[in-house]
């Protein structure tokens, strides 16, 4: 009986030992995202390529005490599947960090598991700003963008153009709610108003009824608080309806592959906000051309660029901290600004928010574009401290007032 109790006590103690374990010989990073659904082009297998590039670049910089292994899985946009994969990765496969997790509902669920397991969550493509607000964790860093930065940046740009009345067509899940909420906060703060909104489920193909409601609302701006395949369908049908002749169309969460799928004829004039564009400067162009060589000639999305940059920053932090403990690694990432080739100077705040510049773009017309991926004209560059939510406004328990 004494032996049995000793074994049980050891089994209970093992997870705590693993949580603060010494450096392994192989650091394992799991890329969790939508590989076959509406967000597959934004993240998908391209994020895996980006993570592999980060691992290779890290290894090439200087001798490292550990090797890096990249794993990948499809969460199918279902929180229960996502958390099941993550628990198996950590408990069975010894995964040390999870990156990407595109889909806010999945990301929020994974966020909790990673904190329980004391492993690092590299939330590159989880859109909801609640991740670094009321659901913040000391093991999470949210890179690339969030709904506050997307909504705030684009609202400021469009209100300056006179677009002060809005109608929202939004996802009926966490991302859509957060996009609409955060854009509305900035819009109303600037004196604008919301004339109405309508919700649609993920995977909607027919937007005719939603667009008719937006047209009849009298709003100057129709704001699409969705992304991926849904946004593509909505923009194409908006062009068919002639909506953009009288109203400004704003894609609150649009990426370059979405514009490519829509085509410039239908997408021209669309106002979007992004954290990255391949043609911003010499560094972004150099990385993007390398990526394209490995990914069927496709330029990287902001999501995929974010995976590269955050995985690389994570590996540097693990090497410096000499641990895979999530709290310690994130603390290391916060110690000093990160000088990143793709996002410029990046600062990690106590709430886990990675702060960097954001951009507002206008989609070019077919006549203005010189090549397939030449799709954006820069309208504004917004400094990170203006684009992202103020540290004391998110309700994060890690922030000292």
The answer as to whether 342 is a domain residue is yes
C-alpha distances out from residue 155 to 164, 188, 366, 387, Å: 9, 10, 26, 11
pLDDT at res. 23? 87
CATH number reported for the structural domain that contains residue 112 in this entry: 3.40.50.2300
One domain, residues 290 and 270: no
Q: CA-to-CA distance for 34 and 241, rounded, in angstroms?
A: 30
One domain, residues 129 and 186: no
Q: CA-to-CA distance for 314 and 143, rounded, in angstroms?
A: 11
The answer as to whether 188 is a domain residue is yes
One domain, residues 52 and 124: yes
Burial class (CB in 10 A: 0-12, 13-18, 19+), 379: middle
For the chain, list residues with pLDDT below 50: 1-20
One domain, residues 231 and 352: no
Closest-CA residue to 75 (of 41, 109, 46): 109
Q: CA-to-CA distance for 54 and 143, rounded, in angstroms?
A: 15
Look up the domain containing 377 and give its range. 148-279+358-387
Last residue of a domain, one of 316, 338, 356: 356
Q: What SS3 string covers 273-292?
A: EECCCCCCCHHHHHHHHHHH
One domain, residues 305 and 194: no
The answer as to whether 58 is a domain residue is yes
pLDDT at res. 400? 84
The answer as to whether 274 is a domain residue is yes
pLDDT at res. 390? 95
Q: CA-to-CA distance for 368 and 97, rounded, in angstroms?
A: 42
The rounded Cα 154 to chain-centroid distance in angstroms is: 16
Closest-CA residue to 127 (of 257, 249, 275): 275
The answer as to whether 401 is a domain residue is no
One domain, residues 95 and 157: no
Q: How many domains does the chain have?
A: 2
One domain, residues 137 and 229: no
The answer as to whether 393 is a domain residue is no
One domain, residues 66 and 104: yes
The answer as to whether 265 is a domain residue is yes
One domain, residues 20 and 125: yes
Beta-sheet strand order (sheet of 193-200): 193-200, 165-171, 221-225, 248-251, 271-274, 358-363, 376-382
Tens of pLDDT along 49-95? 999 999 999 999 988 899 999 999 999 999 999 999 999 999 999 99
Q: CA-to-CA distance for 38 and 77, rounded, in angstroms?
A: 9
The answer as to whether 86 is a domain residue is yes
Phi, psi of 32 (to 5 degrees): -110, 120
pLDDT at res. 122? 98
One domain, residues 29 and 104: yes
Segments of 115-184 assigned E as strands: 120-123, 140-142, 165-171
One domain, residues 130 and 230: no
Structure tokens at 242: 């002639």
One domain, residues 82 and 183: no
Last residue of a domain, one of 356, 371, 396: 356
């Amino acid at each position: 009986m004494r032996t049995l109790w000793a074994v049980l006590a050891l089994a209970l103690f093992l997870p705590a030992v693993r949580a603060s374990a010494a450096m392994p010989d192989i650091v394992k990073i799991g890329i969790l995202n939508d590989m076959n659904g509406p967000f597959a082009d934004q993240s998908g297998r391209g994020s895996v390529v980006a993570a592999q590039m980060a691992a290779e670049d890290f290894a090439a910089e200087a001798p490292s005490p550990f090797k890096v292994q990249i794993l990948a899985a499809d969460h199918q946009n279902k929180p229960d599947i996502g958390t099941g994969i993550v628990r198996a990765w950590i408990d069975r496969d010894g995964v040390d960090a999870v990156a990407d997790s595109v889909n806010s509902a999945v990301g929020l669920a994974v966020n909790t598991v990673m904190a329980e397991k004391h492993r690092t969550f590299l939330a590159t493509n989880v859109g909801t700003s609640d991740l670094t607000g009321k659901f913040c964790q000391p093991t999470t860093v949210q890179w690339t963008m969030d709904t506050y930065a997307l909504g705030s940046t684009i609202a400021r740009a469009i209100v300056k153009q006179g677009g002060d009345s809005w109608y929202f067509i939004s996802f009926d899940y966490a991302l859509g709610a957060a996009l609409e909420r955060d854009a509305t906060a900035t819009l109303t703060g600037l004196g604008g108003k919301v004339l109405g909104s309508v919700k649609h489920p993920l995977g909607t193909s027919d937007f005719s009824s939603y667009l008719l409601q937006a047209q009849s609302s009298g709003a100057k701006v129709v704001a699409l608080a969705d992304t991926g395949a849904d946004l593509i369908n909505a923009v194409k049908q908006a062009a068919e309806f002639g909506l953009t002749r009288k109203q400004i169309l704003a894609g609150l969460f649009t990426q370059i592959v979405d514009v490519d799928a829509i085509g410039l004829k239908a997408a021209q004039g669309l106002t979007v906000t992004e954290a990255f564009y391949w043609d911003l400067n010499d560094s972004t162009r150099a990385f993007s051309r390398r990526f394209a060589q490995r990914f069927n000639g496709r330029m990287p999305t902001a999501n995929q660029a974010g995976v590269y940059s955050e995985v690389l920053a994570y590996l540097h932090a693990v090497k410096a901290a000499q641990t895979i403990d999530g709290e310690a690694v994130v603390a290391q990432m916060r110690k000093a600004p990160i000088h990143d080739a793709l996002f410029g100077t990046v600062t990690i705040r106590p709430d886990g928010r990675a702060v960097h510049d954001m951009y507002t773009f206008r989609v070019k017309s077919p006549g203005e574009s010189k090549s397939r991926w030449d799709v954006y004209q820069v309208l504004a560059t917004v400094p990170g401290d203006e684009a992202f939510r103020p540290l004391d406004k998110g309700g994060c328990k890690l922030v000292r007032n």
